[in-house]
Chain A
Amino acid sequence: MAGFVSIRNLRKSYGTFEALRGIDLDVAKGEVVCIIGPSGSGKSTLIRCINRLEGFDPASEIRVDGTPVTTGRALAKVRAEVGMVFQSFNLFPHLTVRENVMLAPRRVRRTTRADAAAQADRLLARVGIGNQADKYPEHLSGGQQQRVAIARALAMEPQVMLFDEPTSALDPEMVGEVLDVMRDLARTGVTMIVVTHEMGFASQVADRVIFMDAGQIVEQGPPAQVLSDPQEPRTRNFLGAVLNH
């Protein structure tokens, strides 16, 4: 059965370099999937294809809730249902924290100003920065900025949340606060696809861990299996390098 997010034979090349070499992946509604792997393995490219920030081979197929990820109206529908959090936050620096969260609901969903502001304040309280709503992003710490970015994505009430190395740009002492927000989010039943190097988070929160290398899925399964008892040598090498450095 096709998943809520279904990916069939996903291929992408940059010139002669094949970044993704035929990925098949189904993610069920409410599932939390963590994707791990060495840099350059294609894991970021994979999730950036799901909302088509990256184009892909026309023979490949991605569907979200049955809607094909193509162009035009179908793509707009997918993007409204898929939230994304970036490594570098990408907050809008000319807008206050509250305005950052309000913008997409106002423009895409045509929510009234009052409703959007009330929703923004609720979401900001939920990620623990309700008292910073009138500040500009540059006056917040990295961890706070990333939590605003999560609130901004949640404002569109997405069915799926994509996280592209959300803690990789953070100072170590701020990683925890962002992971805590993501952990809470996972409990609410949102479908999450997380590219991460945080093995602790993956083992505690993920329903499934996927190990990628060289543009392919090498191994996948429950975290206890993939992280503690990997079957593939490449997975073992990677985990050995990450866990015992």
Chain B
Amino acid sequence: MDIFDTFLNAEVMRRTFPMLLQGLWITLQLGAASIVAGLMLGLGLAMARLYGPGPVRFVTRLYIDIFRSIPLLVLLIIVYYALPFVGLRLSPFMSAMSALTLVSGAYTAEIFRAGIEAIPKGQFEASAALGLNGRQTMADVILPQAVRIVIPPLTNNSINVVKDTALASVVAMPDLLKQATQAQALAANPTPLIVAAVIYIAFLWPLVALVSRMERRFAARRR
């Protein structure tokens, strides 16, 4: 039995490819939903962390530190297996999206905070002197500049979120990895796993390359 028949079996590939595509679709939905929700959560947390009253800042910092410390898999299992004991029963998709969003939001908050803190104080002062209020200063002056700075790290974080969606397979969500393991069991052949890996790489490699390019360009402009 040669290596191609084992790992890249054309017949198995043909038979299981539709399953993998279904899984890919779920993975992309979960990734996109978690990224968007995590961005919104992160921006809110960053604002609370920077400009909230004392107690709010403290609680926000606590949240950010805790959710950057907890392993995502542990959080996911708690959400899916432990919360039902207190009456909160989420679907596999909602469990996975909640866990991914809670953690991604914590990382995103720190990215936004660093971006905002990188904007020179003079920009805030010029805005205040012109009579802009805090919300206008953020929306029209600070965030448009901060977003440019944080696009590379935010893209990095988004890549991580998409990769971490694979963890959802442990709560029986039919994502790309879960479909691949099932297809492997059905076909008694590991080819679907290899194909799944190739699909992940095909989707994320361009993003990884894009981040490298942006970081290089950014470093060049700083000089």
Contact = CB atoms under 8 A, between A and B. Distances in A.
Interface of A: 51, 53, 76, 79-80, 82-84, 86, 88, 90-94, 103-104, 107-108, 149, 152-153, 156, 162
Contact of B131 (A53, A86, A108, A162): A108
A104 B132 contact: yes
Contacts of A86: 122, 125-126
Interface residue tally on B, bucketed by range: 10 to 19
Nearest to B129: A84
A104 B131 contact: yes
B119 to A, nearest CB: 10
Q: Top 10 A-B pairs ranked by shortest CB distance?
A: A90-B126, A90-B122, A104-B130, A84-B129, A80-B131, A79-B131, A108-B131, A107-B136, A94-B144, A94-B145
B130 A153 contact: yes
Nearest to B126: A90
A91 B122 CA distance: 9
Interface string B114-133: 00000010110110111111
A92 B131 contact: no
Given A90-B120, A93-B145, 20 more contacts: A51-B128, A53-B129, A76-B133, A79-B128, A79-B129, A83-B129, A83-B130, A91-B126, A92-B126, A92-B141, A103-B132, A103-B141, A107-B132, A108-B130, A108-B131, A108-B132, A108-B136, A153-B130, A156-B131, A162-B129
Among A88, A90, A149, A153, max chain B CB count under 10 A is at A90
Residue of B120, B132, B145, B148 with most partner-chain A CB within 10 A: B132
Contacts of B133: 76
Nearest to A80: B131
A76 B133 CA distance: 8
A103 B132 CA distance: 9
Interface of B: 120, 122-123, 125-126, 128-133, 136, 140-141, 144-145, 148
Nearest to A83: B129
A239 to B, nearest CB: 30
B122 A88 contact: yes
B144 to A, nearest CB: 5
A79 B131 CA distance: 5
Contacts of A104: 130-132
Contact of A82 (B122, B129, B141): B129
- If over half of A's interface residues share one DSSP class (helix, strand or loop), that class is named, otherwise mixed; here it is mixed
30 contacts: A51-B129, A53-B125, A53-B128, A76-B133, A79-B129, A79-B130, A79-B131, A80-B131, A83-B129, A83-B130, A84-B129, A86-B125, A88-B122, A90-B123, A90-B125, A90-B126, A92-B123, A92-B145, A94-B144, A94-B145, A94-B148, A103-B140, A104-B130, A104-B131, A108-B130, A108-B131, A108-B136, A152-B130, A156-B130, A156-B131
A50 to B, nearest CB: 10
Nearest to B122: A90
Given A90-B122, A90-B123, A93-B145, A107 B140 contact: yes
Contacts of B132: 103-104, 107-108
A141 B148 CA distance: 24
A155 to B, nearest CB: 8
B130 A103 contact: yes
Contacts of A103: 130, 132, 140-141
B133 to A, nearest CB: 7
Contacts of B130: 79, 83, 103-104, 108, 152-153, 156
Quick one: which of B123, B129, B132, B140 has the most chain A CB within 10 A? Answer: B129
Nearest to A88: B122
Nearest to B132: A107
A156 B144 CA distance: 22
A104 B131 CA distance: 7
A88 B140 CA distance: 20
A222 B126 CA distance: 31
Contacts of B123: 90, 92
B70 to A, nearest CB: 36
A76 B130 CA distance: 9
Nearest to B121: A90
Contacts of A51: 128-129
A11 B128 CA distance: 22
